[in-house]
Amino acid sequence: MTGLASVPERTLVDRALELMAQAPCGADRLAREILLLPNAPVSVAERLAVALFASDPRVRQLDDGRWALTPEAQGSPLIEECAFAVVDVETTGMSATGPDRVTDVAVVILQGERRELVFESLVQPGISIPPRIAMLTGITDQLVRHAPLFDAVADALLAALAGRVFVAHNARFDWAFLSAEVRRNRGLGLIGPQLCTVRLARRLLPDLPSRSLDALSEHFALENPARHRAAGDALVTAQLLERLLRLARERGARSLSDLEAMQRKGSGNG
């Protein structure tokens, strides 16, 4: 609409939209809190909800019967509009805020049909790599002896992440290490949306006994010839994300906020 229009200042629908902005609502709750009909039968509440919202482009009915704002009304981008930066880091240990440092980092962009490795680098951590880590990753002190320090790759890495949705398998780990390195080397903090393929898998594949990267790769028949190297793991995680997005759409997810809500519900153990 490009011209002037007049609408009621604050209708029942407006109040319902404010309620839906907090979370999707069932017809019974809308009847109780918006229409002030606490004793309305469910069938009556559902008919009233259809009468109010069926033709409203700002509202959609979810598969479970609840009513919710559309992604456009929520201000959240649609899934197909998102550019995902799928990240993997290898490190000297588990303590992001302690002595441990990044040794290998990669970023794969997933956007529509595009799946591309856009950044990859070994990193000189400035400390010795423990033998158990070297055995797991194949990254040794000798391998990173002439690699750049994080400071030298920070700008290119940040450019690869800028404006994109951060995704990783166990995203908290990768985010914590990159945040610590960026803060240490640039005095900056990372902010922005994050998705975790572990959490999404818990929600979308609840019957799997494990959601490790190896278990999920086997489940989807994904090959990873460079396991425990940043580029290999980032590439297979991007393929995993493609499969999970497909499942999420089948469950009714349309927007980034839908994915974020879905992973919050799937954040239990596993």
Mean residue pLDDT of the chain comes to: 89
95, 229: one domain: yes
231, 97: one domain: yes
Q: Is residue 3 part of a domain?
A: no
How many other CB atoms sit within 10 Å of the CB of residue 119?
Answer: 21
Q: What pLDDT does residue 167 have?
A: 98
38, 153: one domain: no
Q: Which 8-state DSSP code applies to residue 269?
A: -
* Domain endpoint, select from 40, 74, 108: 74
120, 43: one domain: no
Q: What pLDDT does residue 143 have?
A: 97
Q: Which 8-state DSSP code applies to residue 21?
A: H
Which of 41-58 are b and which e, b meaning 16 or more Cβ less than 10 Å from the residue's Cβ?
eeeebbebbeebbeeeee
Hey, what amino acid is at 259? L
Using DSSP, how many helices (H) and how many strands (E) does the chain show? 12, 7
Count how many domains the chain has: 2
91, 220: one domain: yes
Q: What pLDDT does residue 19 have?
A: 83
Query: Which is higher by pLDDT, 18 or 200?
Result: 200
53, 108: one domain: no
* Domain endpoint, select from 20, 54, 74: 74
Statement: residue 258 has pLDDT above 70: yes
* Domain endpoint, select from 74, 103, 122: 74
Q: Is residue 270 part of a domain?
A: no
DSSP 192-244: S-EEEHHHHHHHH-TT-S--SHHHHHHHTT---TTTTSHHHHHHHHHHHHHHH
Q: What pLDDT does residue 236 have?
A: 98
Query: Which is higher by pLDDT, 53 or 4?
Result: 53
Q: Is residue 208 part of a domain?
A: yes
Q: What is the pLDDT of residues 140-164, one digit of tens each?
A: 999 999 999 999 999 999 999 998 9
Q: Name the least confident of 45-54, 83-92, 120-129.
A: 45-54
Q: What pLDDT does residue 238 have?
A: 98
Task: Provide the residue range defining the domain that includes 20.
Answer: 12-74
109, 57: one domain: no
196, 94: one domain: yes
